[in-house]
């Protein structure tokens, strides 16, 4: 993309030569031998579905990821109707059992139709039915069985409008400790690809924790990584911050194989810069931490990440830092509620 003096990004002009020179792939022979490599593979994917068209889009994306890793997909349907007050008050175990059998029979038929519509490989696809609050069951399944990722549509499962995340989806992204890939539904089914990965960072260790995931996926798909840091409009010389980008070799042994571009953006809110740059560079995937330097002020997910998931056209892979996994142990407590965005 051509850059000008009026551009909100600062990766060009006299710094573009630096980026191109520093981001070229190095010959394999120059890499250190015998070192351990953190390789994140999307070989076990949990894909919740309510059998809607929005969920179908997410299933197809999960199939694309699993196929490239020769992986396995588990389709999960969660029936929440037992949470209905009338159903709860009846407490008739016999009727409850009969109802579950009927729901399971219908769901299995829907699963068969979904597998056919999404062209899934039956040999590498399994199905499961849970009963209870959707977000709770999805998170419990994802964490108990250590899935590589949860792939979920941003609409459906409690969907309200095109401008808001579904109730259950928002909770899964906010509370799940496993990696979550949220994807916006689309009427246009295009061949999936991952050639450009956008990885935003505020230079904190919480945000940088997403880097090894980005490098692993970039190596698998021979993709380019764009590291983005956004500063406030009051910063006079944002290009000087280029030197603050982290050394990727500290996060992945084979990072020098990856083409990397470093960009400093300037905006009132970082999510604006992230969403806009993702569109301009046609990013195939956004990978970011659930929290940044300000994330400790929020209960589970940073406001920036929440906004990017809500607004981005590209799939968004969110990663939770181990620190945040340990300091939020009571995620399902009734008193455990998110703070307002103004507290971020």
The encoded tokens of residue 64 equal 């694309």
Inter-residue contact 61 to 48 (CB < 8 Å)? no
Residue 119 placed within a domain: yes
Answer yes or no: do 125 and 27 share one domain: no
Yes or no: say if 219 and 176 are a contact pair by the CB < 8 Å rule: no
Q: What end-to-end distance do the CA atoms of the chain give, in Å?
A: 33
- Judgement on whether residues 60 and 135 belong to the same structural domain of the protein: yes
Total structural domains within the chain? 2
Structural domain including 247 reads 13-36+193-296+303-311
pTM: 0.80
Same domain, 94 and 179: yes
Together in a domain, 148 and 220: no
Task: State which of 129, 155, 183 marks the end of a domain.
Answer: 183
**Structure tokens given for 337:** 């509620």
Do 26 and 71 have their domain in common?
no
In a domain, 336, yes or no: no
| 58 pLDDT above the threshold of 90 | yes
Each residue's pLDDT tens digit, 284-332: 999 999 865 554 433 444 678 888 998 999 999 999 877 655 444 444 4
> 84 lies in a domain?
yes
Structure tokens given for 36: 């351990």
8 Å CB contact between 246 and 211:
yes
- Integer Cα distance of 49 and 130 in angstroms: 11
Task: Indicate whether 2 belongs to any domain.
Answer: no
Q: How far is CA 41 from CA 30, 45, 335, in A?
A: 24, 10, 36
User: Looking up tokens 């400093």, which residue turns up?
Assistant: 264
The confidence score (pLDDT) of residue 316 equals: 97
Residues 238, 179 share a domain: no
Instruction: Output the 3-class SS for 3-19.
Output: CCCCCCECCCHHHHHHH
Asked which of 160, 183, 206 is the last residue of a domain, the reply is: 183
Q: CA 187 to CA 93: how far, in whole Å?
A: 42
* Same domain? 91 vs 208: no
What CATH number should be reported for the domain holding residue 160?
A: 3.40.50.620
Phi, psi (degrees; rounded to nearest 5) at 292: -120, -155
> What DSSP designation does 277 have?
H
Confidence of residue 253 (pLDDT cuts 50, 70, 90): confident
Cα(152)–Cα(184) distance, integer angstroms: 9
Most confident stretch, 82-96, 150-164, 168-182: 168-182
**pLDDT tens sequence across 200-252:** 998 888 889 999 999 999 999 999 999 999 988 887 888 888 888 989 988 88
- Token pair, residue 55, equals 């969920």
Do 107 and 123 share a domain, yes or no? yes
Both 147 and 247 in one domain: the answer is no
Domain boundary residue among 163, 183, 203? 183
Average pLDDT of every residue of the chain = 78
pLDDT tier for residue 145 given thresholds of 50, 70 and 90 = very high
Q: CA-CA distance, 100 to 81, in Å (whole number)? A: 10
| Residue 69 forms part of a structural domain | yes
pLDDT tens digits along 7-44: 455 543 323 322 232 343 433 322 333 333 457 899 99
Render the burial of 276-294: b for 16+ CB within 10 Å, e for the rest.
Answer: ebbeebebbbbbbbbbbeb
Could you tell me if 292 and 253 lie in one domain? yes
Answer yes or no: do 229 and 247 share one domain. Answer: yes
What is the predicted pLDDT for the residue at 330?
43
- The alpha carbon of residue 78 and the mean position of all alpha carbons in its chain are separated, in whole angstroms, by 21
d(CA 319, CA 211): 10
Residues 113 and 50 in one domain: yes
| Closest listed residue to residue 176, CA positions, set 128, 129, 124, 134 | 134
Whether the pLDDT of residue 76 is over 60: the answer is yes
Q: Mind giving me the DSSP string for 125-161? A: EEEEEEES-HHHHHHHHHHHTT-SEEEEESSSSS---
Q: pLDDT-based confidence at 269, cuts 50/70/90?
A: confident
Within-domain flag for 323: no
- For residue 248, tell me if it sits in a domain: yes
Distances (CA, A) of 21 to 227, 243, 260: 15, 14, 10
């Amino acid at each position: 993309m051509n850059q000008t003096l009026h551009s909100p990004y600062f990766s060009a002009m006299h710094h573009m030569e630096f980026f191109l020179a520093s981001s070229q792939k190095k010959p394999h022979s120059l890499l250190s031998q015998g070192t351990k490599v953190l390789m994140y593979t999307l070989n076990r994917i949990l894909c919740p579905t309510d059998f809607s068209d929005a969920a179908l889009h997410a299933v197809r994306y999960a199939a694309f990821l699993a196929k490239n890793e020769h992986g396995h997909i588990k389709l999960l349907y969660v029936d929440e109707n037992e949470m209905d007050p009338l159903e709860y008050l009846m407490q008739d175990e016999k009727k409850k059992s009969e109802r579950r059998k009927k729901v399971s029979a219908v769901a299995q038929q829907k699963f068969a139709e979904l597998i056919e519509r999404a062209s899934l490989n039956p040999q590498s696809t399994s199905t499961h039915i849970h009963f209870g609050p959707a977000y709770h069951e999805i998170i419990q399944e994802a964490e108990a069985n250590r899935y590589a990722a949860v792939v979920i549509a941003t609409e459906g499962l409690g969907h309200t409008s095109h401008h808001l995340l579904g109730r259950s989806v928002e909770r899964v992204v906010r509370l799940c400790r496993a990696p979550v890939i949220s994807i916006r539904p689309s009427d246009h089914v295009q061949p999936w690809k991952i050639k450009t990965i956008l990885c935003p960072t505020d230079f904190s260790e919480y945000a940088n924790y997403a880097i090894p995931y980005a490098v692993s996926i970039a190596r698998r798909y021979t993709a380019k990584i764009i590291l983005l840091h956004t500063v406030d409009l009051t910063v006079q010389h944002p290009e000087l911050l280029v030197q603050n980008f982290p050394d990727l070799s500290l996060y992945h042994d084979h990072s020098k194989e990856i083409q990397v571009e470093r960009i400093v953006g300037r905006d009132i809110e970082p999510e604006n810069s992230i969403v806009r740059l993702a569109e301009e560079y046609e990013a195939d995937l956004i990978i970011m931490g659930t929290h940044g330097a300000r994330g400790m002020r929020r209960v589970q997910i940073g406001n920036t990440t929440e906004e990017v998931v809500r607004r981005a056209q590209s799939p968004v892979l969110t990663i939770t830092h181990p620190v945040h996994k340990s300091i939020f142990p009571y995620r399902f407590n009734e008193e455990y509620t998110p703070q307002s965005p103004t507290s971020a």
